[in-house]
Structure 1
């Protein structure tokens, strides 16, 4: 682990653009005597949910093309990384400088066509070379080569993202649909199997499995259409929220509140909102 003078007290004169200022801020937050009680209680495990939330907020700022928000959310995400590094430094494992050094070396090593003499024809060749370099790195660490095609796809990924990655891994070895028609047929087949679980007497576990199969087949359809399934669902969520907000506003303009007894009115307004969008 490298030694860094990152524990100096941040002051009003500290350069807010310098990474050392942020390192000093986090060090103070984690100071056993003068730090923040909340920050001192945290561990890498406890802040994982916040890290995932910050990553999604970065994605939302990008989708909204909001540069001010994008800048702020990147800062929030960077804070998470510095906090992780500080916790590791406290355990004598590594520090922020080691994190920066490791990623810089890795990117240089994995881009020999940029920083070396290698010549790669296109992005497909780059991806293939990247995978071969990763395999060599694993071998250099004494790790065994992946025994199975789907090994190494992180289980902590969002389900839609992980489904797409699993499908892409299988597709690399030829286990894939030949055309969109076959994928669409599979979606219809899975929908029919879901419909077969509608009776109340059906085992809930079976219903769970059939809904999962339907969602998995929808991810397959999105992949074959060149659509990011996670992004598509985020957009659908935003569209639903926007439309329902209009329904709610118009309902209240009429002196009504969203409620089951006003379902017909809500459906009429929903249809109108969609028509106005078109």
Structure 2
């Protein structure tokens, strides 16, 4: 945007990024089909690329990060379950209470250090098996952590949390909206983060420049549940290749350019 002769740079958020010309051209030329029948080849290609990049079995395109988190929580839990999450997390602060209002789960927020949960605090927060208590079934982490100033939760920290989760039979889910920023900053493959979680999401529409879209990633059974829940929430789409096409370019070309953002910041 401009004001008079002065150029103004909008630093409110990486959500104000605009698609590249190559992305717009890809939208115009996308090969389309009906994704409700899994017949959109562009969507199928994006989901396959995302699963491979994250080292998981399958992936699912959804319209937004908030829907990705809600779909994932619902796919990991049953109504009435207890979900442990960091007290300043995006799911707890900025998603209109959806995991309570729609998923019907009890959020159990605990304070982390710069957004990172301490495994000892997580273990202490797990509800004992008792007829009076809800079952604790899920731990959610956010990486990078928005309200902690973009703090990275390291692979070592995630591994320690996963150890506690597995000891108690819990799933570990990562809101990885900006996980590629973490990988680029630490100069490691993104799978160093993802191999320690059961499932995750990441956004296409932030630093990766796409106009819309997020991806849920996990094993095949989890993604099948997520696909059905996405439909229930109104997120099923038809010729969604117009959303997937810029996502393919993002995964092929824009991840490496995040380093430019970090330098400019």
Q: Same fold, TM exceeding 0.5?
A: no
With structure 1 as the length reference, what TM-score do the two structures score?
0.21
RCO higher in structure (CA 8 A, sep ≥6): 2
Higher strand share: 2
Higher helix share: 1
Give the number of the structure whose alpha-carbon radius of gyration is greater. Answer: 1
With structure 2 as the length reference, what TM-score do the two structures score?
0.22
